[in-house]
Amino acid sequence: MNKPKIAVIGSLNMDIVIEAQRAPRMGETILGQQAHFIPGGKGANQAVASARLGAHTSMIGSVGQDAFGKQLLASMQQEGIDCQTIKSVEQAATGIANILLADGDNSIIVVPGANAYCTTEDIDKHEQAIADADVVMLQLEIPLETVIYAAEKAKHLGKQVILNPAPAQALPDRLFAAIDILTPNETEVYQLAGFEIGEVELQQAMQALQSKGVQHVITTLGSKGAAFLDQSGQVEIVPAYKVEVVDTTGAGDSFNAGLAVAIGSGRRIPEAVVFASKVAALAVTKMGAQQGMPTLEQVENFISKKG
Ligand code: ATP
Ligand code: RIB
């Protein structure tokens, strides 16, 4: 693959990950097994995964002037990501994600903190990073106003715009019109299309989103794989690779990065979804969102073993 240029606009969090046998009930205290402090945040995870997959990667975002903020910036720099476009604000602490791993699943509370200070002015200030990119990646852990502004600017500049609509929230139609690839998960796809889960077939929900102006909708289905619509509007499923799962936190982020790198390298949607599925399969075999992101070499080795 040739080396694509990717600009990620989004969140940086310190993930405080607690492993426990089960989730506590409200008002209850239980003992957990382990605590980990791992760099995370959907934006930063996507940036790290893109960089490890060989893309020139820059990130626009915001951290606090605290120890976590410094740690997150240092780890991004170590990955070779252009971080000059990440600011340190004094008004808020670095974003935190409180992640509970229990019963083979996770639950997450995000406190955005400094991520809430990633503004439309930052997008104007760092327009060059967007202009230099082939693909621009967005998620929903920074203010929606900034996401809309950045998507429209990137679209105007002729970039491929990927929006991972997570965490889920209602989105205005004008945002959909600026998106080339929308990547909801199985819950988000119905919510965004205005249906209850299971009310309609997946195909109908995805078609409803496309009719809002999105070029392509790709729905991630966890261990069931990922779905896209073929040229006649029928759902095609790319099954997930069978792997030994350690931690699925960041599965969606690794998938989105794989997709962005493949699209930025000129691959078409079906091949890009297969590549993204390989990246995500490798990511879920490791503990922690960001630290588990695979390199291009690992994906290529995995391809030769599994593919
Ligand atoms: P998260 O919010 O945890 O980052 P998500 O809900 O955004 O995840 P998922 O749909 O759970 O995203 O997963 C994204 C992709 O990761 C899937 O489409 C699939 O390719 C891969 N994946 C997820 N879980 C597994 C698994 N158990 N085994 C193999 N691949 C998986
Ligand atoms: O997608 C996983 C990420 O969501 C975690 O790293 C956490 O920071 C939350 O933002």
Residue type, 72: L
Instruction: State the Cα–Cα distance between residues 82 and 244, nearest whole angstrom.
Output: 33
Measured from the alpha carbon of residue 223, the closest ligand is 1
Facing residues of 194 across strands?
none
**What's the CA-to-centroid distance between 131 and ligand 2, angstroms?**
27
Instruction: State the Cα–Cα distance between residues 187 and 75, nearest whole angstrom.
Output: 31
Residue 285 near ligand 1, beta carbon < 6 Å: no
Residue 72 near ligand 2, beta carbon < 6 Å: no
- Ligand 2 binding pocket mutation candidate from 45, 98, 115 (most atoms within 8 A of CB): 45
Give the pTM: 0.96
pLDDT of residue 103: 85
Asked if residue 220 lies in contact with residue 168, where contact means CB atoms within 8 angstroms, the answer is no
Asked if residue 223 lies in contact with residue 240, where contact means CB atoms within 8 angstroms, the answer is yes
What count of other Cβ atoms lies within 10 Å of the Cβ of residue 181? 23
pLDDT of residue 113: 98
DSSP string, 46-93: HHHHHHHTT-EEEEEEEEESSHHHHHHHHHHHHTT-B-TTEEEESSSP
Active site residues: 253
pLDDT of residue 305: 62
Residue 165 near ligand 1, beta carbon < 6 Å: no
Domains and CATH numbers, the chain: 5-9+41-91+116-306 (3.40.1190.20)
Mean pLDDT in consecutive groups of 10 residues from the start of the chain, 307 residues: 91 97 95 96 98 98 98 97 98 97 91 98 98 98 98 98 96 97 97 92 97 96 97 95 93 98 97 98 94 95 68
Instruction: State the Cα–Cα distance between residues 69 and 176, nearest whole angstrom.
Output: 32
Residue 284 near ligand 1, beta carbon < 6 Å: yes
Tell the residue nearest (CA) to atom 6 of ligand 1.
185
Tell the residue nearest (CA) to atom 28 of ligand 1.
223
Sign of CA dihedral 228, 241, 260, 200: positive
**What's the CA-to-centroid distance between 223 and ligand 1, angstroms?**
6
**What's the CA-to-centroid distance between 240 and ligand 1, angstroms?**
8
pLDDT of residue 243: 94
pLDDT of residue 250: 96
Tell the residue nearest (CA) to atom 7 of ligand 1.
252
User: C-alpha angle with apex 50: 154 to 5, nearest 5 degrees?
Assistant: 45
